[in-house]
Chain A
Amino acid sequence: MQKQAIFQSRLLPYALVAPQLAIVLIFFYWPALQAVIQSFLLQDAFGLSTTFVWFENYIELFKDVAYFEAIVRTFFFSFAIAVSSLSFALLLAVMADKPLRGSMLYRTLLIWPYAVAPPVVGVLWIFMLHPSLGVLSRYLRNMGIDWNPLLDGDQAAALIILAAAWKQISYNFLFFLAGLQAIPKSVFEAAAIDGARPMRRFWTVTFPLLSPTIFFLLVVNIVYAFFDTFGIIDTMTRGGPGTSTVTLVYKVYSDGLLGGNLGSSAAQSVILMVMVIVLTGIQFRFVERKVTY
């Protein structure tokens, strides 16, 4: 089969890709370049003078304990969000995969939360768990838990993780369900005849066969937890109390737009950009290999 298109004119193919290239260049490469340039600059407090300072912004960052804390916090959040969201989604997918009545309906319902924008997710959960307004807060306090995420940093972190993981469950569920359905039913039947009880069947057959999907989702979830949780954090805690829910992305925003330290903010952006490149590289490297088991 001929896969290569043949053009009569040499200019036509360039003309055809030009709009796409223009979008990529204007909206991705140009801002990225701006960030890199900005990260080498230092501006005075009033924005009157700008100095080229080479790597000083970066050096300052790595000397800063708060930045180090944000890195650790971000990794912890990512890990917690990915693990909780993946395991819950897998549980739901395994249950939804069974041929039950109305399966289309609840499969559809399980996918809906993905359509909710992150800030809305934040608002939704804060309504349920706000210390004085929240519906669930009362029950928590009745159970003897001193629930106040506005004052308690750990509780605030838990709240962020909960909301962020909840939002991502739908997405993971979709992929897990598709992954499960790609495994021939007869493999499970063979395992059932081979004397494997449901739990053993899950750990020895289902889980290994889903491992490519799990790995793919792990990377996607980490990227999500790194970047897309901004809206949730901003509506729920604004990084507080103190800095207990400030992640790397939120710090870019708060240092740059709230703190006015544009150079440092840009340097942080560049570091994040490098992280994304690394994560995507890992993903392509391993996921593109079709079969990993």
Chain B
Amino acid sequence: MANVTLRNVRKTYPGGFEAIKGVNVDVGDGQFCVLVGPSGCGKSTLLRMVAGLETVTGGEIDIGGRIVNQIEPADRDIAMVFQNYALYPHMSVFNNMAYGLRNRGMKEAEVKSRVDEAARVLELTSMLERKPRQLSGGQRQRVAMGRAIVRQPKVFLFDEPLSNLDAKLRIAMRVEIRKLQRRLNTTSIYVTHDQLEAMTLADVLVVMNGGQVEQVGNPLAIYEKPATTFVASFIGAPPMNLMSIRADEIKSQLGSTNAGILGIRPEDFVITDQTPAGGVTLPLTVEAIERVGAETFVYGTRAQDEQRIAANPGELPPGEVIVRIPGSEAPPIGEKIRVAATRQKLHLFSGDGRTRIEA
């Protein structure tokens, strides 16, 4: 069991590209840490640096009180589950799981008992003699998990392990991974671009963008109080509505002077003509309706909208607002409606989107 601490970790490639620009993260013993961010944000690179598959060009990586920057992957006492599973195609399931143990000179009886135990937990017992090519995607994924757990390492590293599975299996495996991690109580770092996976798995959520950490914390805390507009639009689906606000609006309605961007989550709107005290209302023209059964998404255009903030990934096109309402009742397309949100549900950010303003 071990803590993992990243201190001002940097990665600059020989060409001069800076992939990781000084990351500080502290993962406590037994915690499940999820690195989430869009493609190319450096989350996989960071994980590979922890694994020892990429060199560290600055800062320190500390696993269980030991600086591992110069230590070989094999000696870091970590296990990794790869996106493509990286099973040894020429070895049986049993040998795939036993490989790491045999390399470390473990007695064959002990190897067998550990592999059998892992196979039992992962329901692979009947497949131990098969080759990876004879397994389904979900089974291969479980073998990859088994290969990690037989070693009983200090840290599990997961590099988008579920992204090659279909949607249904992905949800099932997500729950399995969480249960397994809880039971083994092994410190884990998990990389994903799927914010839902991140929200449901994490004890500690690290939102990354452009090689930097945007926000670290409990997933719900991040959802409720996103630190930047990037986090606000990345965490939560559909994304938070972000709109620039004029100085007079801020003064009159919100009582804040330096906020430049207003954020409201789609689920925090209600369709009403009344302006709640201290809250906001928006006049909308309904453009499209998406009914998914339990809830309905209303896509509207703001009637009076002159200026917009710079676009972030995941942000709505200028002028468009998403409203999420329960049930399947919805106003007809083309109708002019008013939506309102209370003061407590408003998120205020500085004009550049880099700072959250608590009013």
Q: Which residues of A contact B (CB under 8 A)?
A: 184, 186-187, 189-197, 200, 204-205, 208-209, 211, 291, 293
Q: Please determine whether B74 and A196 come into contact, CB atoms closer than 8 angstroms.
A: yes
- Known contacts A186-B86, A209-B89; decide if A191 and B99 are in contact (CB<8 Å): yes
A184 touches B73 (CB 8 A): no
Let me know if A209 and B90 touch, CB within 8 A: yes
Contact: B74 with A194, CB < 8 Å? yes
B103 neighbours in A (Cβ, 8 Å): 194-196, 200
Which residues of B are found within 8 Å of A205, using beta-carbon distances?
88
Whether A192 contacts B90 in the complex (CB less than 8 A), given A186-B82, A186-B84, comes out as no
Which of B51, B52, B78, B99 is in CB contact (< 8 Å) with A196?
A: B99
| One of A192, A194, A204 near B53 (C-beta < 8 A) | A192
B84 near A184 with CB under 8 A, answer: yes
- Interface of chain A, main secondary structure: helix
Neighbouring B residues of A211 by C-beta, 8 Å: 90
Pick the residue among A190, A196, A208, A209 that contacts B82 (CB under 8 A). A190
Asked if B147 is an interface residue, CB under 8 A from chain A, the answer is: yes
Interface assignment of B79: CB less than 8 Å from any CB of chain A: yes
Contact A193 to B78, CB < 8 A, known contacts A200-B103, A209-B90, A293-B90: yes
* Size bracket of the B interface: 20 to 34
A204:B80 contact, CB within 8 angstroms: no
B74 and A293 contact, CB distance less than 8 A: no
A190 — nearest CB in chain B belongs to which residue? B86
Could you show 17 A-B contacts with beta carbons less than 8 Å apart? A189-B73, A189-B80, A189-B82, A190-B86, A190-B88, A190-B147, A192-B53, A192-B72, A193-B53, A193-B74, A193-B78, A193-B79, A194-B74, A194-B99, A195-B104, A204-B99, A291-B89
Cα–Cα, bound, A189→B73 (Å): 9
Interface residues of B in 57-108 (CB under 8 A from A): 72-74, 78-80, 82-84, 86-90, 99-100, 103-104
Is the C-beta of B133 less than 8 angstroms from some C-beta in chain A? Answer: yes
Q: Please, how many angstroms separate the alpha-carbon atoms of A205 and B99 in the complex? A: 10
B86–A195 CB distance below 8 A: no
User: Using Cβ atoms and an 8 Å threshold, which residues of chain A touch B82?
Assistant: 186, 189-190
Measured CA separation A189–B88 after assembly (Å): 11
Residue of B nearest to A291 (CB): B133
Instruction: Flag if A194 contacts B100 (CB, 8 Å).
Output: yes
Report how far A53 CA is from B53 CA in the complex, Å.
Answer: 72
CB proximity of B99 to chain A, nearest CB, Å: 5
Nearest opposing residue in chain B for A205, CB measure: B88
Which parts of B108-157 form the interface with A (CB within 8 Å)? 133, 147, 151
> Which residues on the B side are within 8 Å of A190 (C-beta)?
80, 82, 86-88, 147
**Is B147 a contact partner of A194 (Cβ separation < 8 A)?**
yes
Within 8 A of A (CB), among B39-63: 51-53
**Which residues from chain A contact B52 at a C-beta distance below 8 Å?**
192-193
Tell me which of A194, A197, A204, A205 has the highest count of chain B C-beta atoms within 10 A of its own C-beta.
Answer: A194
Asked if residues A195 and B74 are in contact (CB atoms below 8 Å), the reply is yes
By the criterion CB–CB under 8 Å, are A189 and B86 in contact? yes
Q: Using known A-B contacts A196-B74, A200-B103, A204-B99, determine if residue A191 contacts B88 with beta carbons closer than 8 Å.
A: yes
Q: How far is the CB of B1 from chain A (nearest CB, A)?
A: 19
In the assembled complex, how far is the CB of residue A205 from the closest CB belonging to chain B, in whole angstroms?
A: 6
Expressed in whole angstroms, the Cα–Cα distance for A211 and B89 within the complex equals 12
Q: Tell me which residues across on chain A come within 8 A of B51, comparing CB atoms.
A: 189, 193
B90 touches A189 (CB 8 A): no
